[in-house]
Amino acid sequence: MNTDHSGHRADPPPSGSAKNPLRRDLLAARALLTKDDVARTAAVLAQSALDLPELAGARTVAAYVSVGREPGTRDLLEALRGRGVRVLLPVLLADNDLDWAAYEGPEHLLPAGRGLLEPDGPRLGPAAVVEAGAVLLPGLAVDGAGMRLGRGGGSYDRVLARLAAAGARPPLVVLLYENEVVARVPSEPHDHPVDAVVTPGGTRRFAS
């Protein structure tokens, strides 16, 4: 079973997907990173993301808890909470859709299986994401057109479809390592471009 973000698993991609070779290469590169590499990058990404107008103006931000060698989000989650921002974190449902709960600090994150950490507070329902003024999406890559490569699970495809159905258009932001901004991500009709990608080298925005 695949993971879309810090572990949000959903249905596996179709056999022979054009995205799979790129996924394999990027995951292999992440596997070479040390814990120190991940920690240093997380601190830089948090500072850069905090400076984004898209996040600075949002009272509610939908985010996720990074795990393993993903670009770290935990420093950013704490900094947003310290600013008084309401941070929503995903909770994986049995059907691979995502529920949401408020982030109340690292001590309120519980192991949830498959290596995930999820908030222990009340569940707010899948529709809670439409309240977000900005959405931090997990990903493996973004290309020059802003197309995001996830792990193929599909959980966030549902989130983006739910936002579109509600007429919500919060800025979509991805945190990545420098090598994960690539020339082209194979895209499908249901894929949504993001608005910005933050790497240790800076921020790149895409025309909507």
HEC profile for the chain? CEECCCCCEECCCCCCCCCHHHHHHHHHHHHCCCHHHHHHHHHHHHHHHHCCHHHHCCCEEECCCCCCCCCCCHHHHHHHHHCCCEEEEEEECCCCCEEEEECCCHHHEEECCCCCEEECCCCCCHHHHHHCCEEEECCCEEECCCEEECCCCCHHHHHHHHHHHCCCCCCEEEECCHHHEECCCCCCCCCCECCEEEECCEEEECCC
Q: At what angle do helices 74-82 and 35-50 cross, to 10 degrees?
A: 30
* 45 annotated ligand-binding residue: no
Question: Any binding-site annotation on 21?
Answer: yes
152 is annotated as contributing to ligand binding: yes
103 assigned ligand-binding residue: no
156 is in an annotated binding site: yes
To the question of whether residue 22 is assigned a binding role by annotation, the answer is yes
Is 129 within any annotated ligand binding site? no
According to the annotation, is 154 in a ligand binding site?
A: yes
Residue 70 is labelled as binding a ligand: yes
Is 19 labelled as part of a ligand binding site?
Answer: yes
Known binding site for substrate: residues?
Answer: 65, 70
Known binding site: residues?
Answer: 19-23, 65, 70, 148-156
Known binding site for ATP: residues?
Answer: 19-23, 148-156
